[in-house]
Amino acid sequence: MEGYIDIHNHIIPKVDDGAHSINQALRMLEIAFSEGIRTVIATPHISYRRGEDRRSKLMGAFEELRIKAEEQFPELKLYMGSEIFYSQDTVYGLQKNEIPTLGNTSYVLVEFQPSCEYRYLKSSIQNLIIGGYKPVIAHIERYYVLRKDLKLVDELILMGAYIQSNASSIRGEDGRELQRFVKKLLKRKLLHFVATDSHGDKIRPPRIRECIDTAKKKYGDEYAADIFIHNGRKLLKDQYI
């Protein structure tokens, strides 16, 4: 099994705390390709405020990387996206086409403060859904309130949210508590996506194969294929999962 889809990473150079050069970005893509990843949705951090014109800079940097990547990795597909730090202006920015969605679909990758209250998280997700978007909650394991009560994750999914965890958390690199929580989500099949959230070629590289092997062994080939391949394909076709 290969053809994995990575929906969360910081591979576009010089736009956030991810790749700091085009060469580093290409090294990250080389690692991703060696891990079996064949589709990458680049998701630079965005903290949007009305009146900002960050999209043009992001798209310029993305196009430069896409052209270079196409030369070196013709089998690898690269799409534009963003990791949005949610604020009261987020839906406005999305509707004005000033914030990139995932692969130009209605899916959006959204993050919050790890210490945020559940009512704020819930109302934010509701606002995105009412606005016509399909929210994917980035690195679900980071939110303290959700780690305390797994039923709240169920509630968010029933509302229409999708859940993403980091591969590093499955491997235990982010601590035992986060690893235990992600294992509970996997056991209950509450995850829709596992992504690299990679930031470099040495620190936080785009490694994913070990997690795939773990998921197949413990949770079954079918579910592993869903969270690493099939759900990503549905996302890029803007289909409901």
Structure tokens at 89: 């202006």
Tally Cβ neighbours within 10 Å of residue 59. Answer: 14
**131-158 b/e (C-beta count within 10 Å ≥ 16 → b):** eebbbbbbbbbbbebbbeeeebbeebee
For residue 241, tell me if it sits in a domain: no
For residue 89, tell me if it sits in a domain: yes
Average pLDDT over residues 56-61: 91
Q: What is the pLDDT of residues 203-219, one digit of tens each?
A: 999 999 999 999 999 99
Query: Are 135 and 105 within 8 A, CB to CB?
Result: no
Query: Are 118 and 150 within 8 A, CB to CB?
Result: no
Residue 75 Cα distances to 14, 69, 72, 175, angstroms = 25, 10, 9, 35
Q: Determine the Cα–Cα distance for residues 239 and 95; give it in Å rounded to an integer.
A: 19
Average pLDDT over residues 147-169: 97
Q: What is the pLDDT of residues 10-41, one digit of tens each?
A: 999 999 999 999 999 999 999 999 999 999 99
For residue 151, tell me if it sits in a domain: yes
CATH code of 156's domain: 3.20.20.140
Query: Are 136 and 105 within 8 A, CB to CB?
Result: no
Give the total number of structural domains in the chain: 1
Q: What per-residue confidence (pLDDT) applies to 1?
A: 66
Residue 88 has pLDDT above 70, yes or no: yes
For residue 158, tell me if it sits in a domain: yes
Domain that holds residue 63: 4-236
For residue 159, tell me if it sits in a domain: yes
Q: Determine the Cα–Cα distance for residues 12 and 68; give it in Å rounded to an integer.
A: 12
Residue 49 has pLDDT above 90, yes or no: no
Residue (of 83, 11, 86, 5) closest to 38 by Cα position = 5
For residue 219, tell me if it sits in a domain: yes
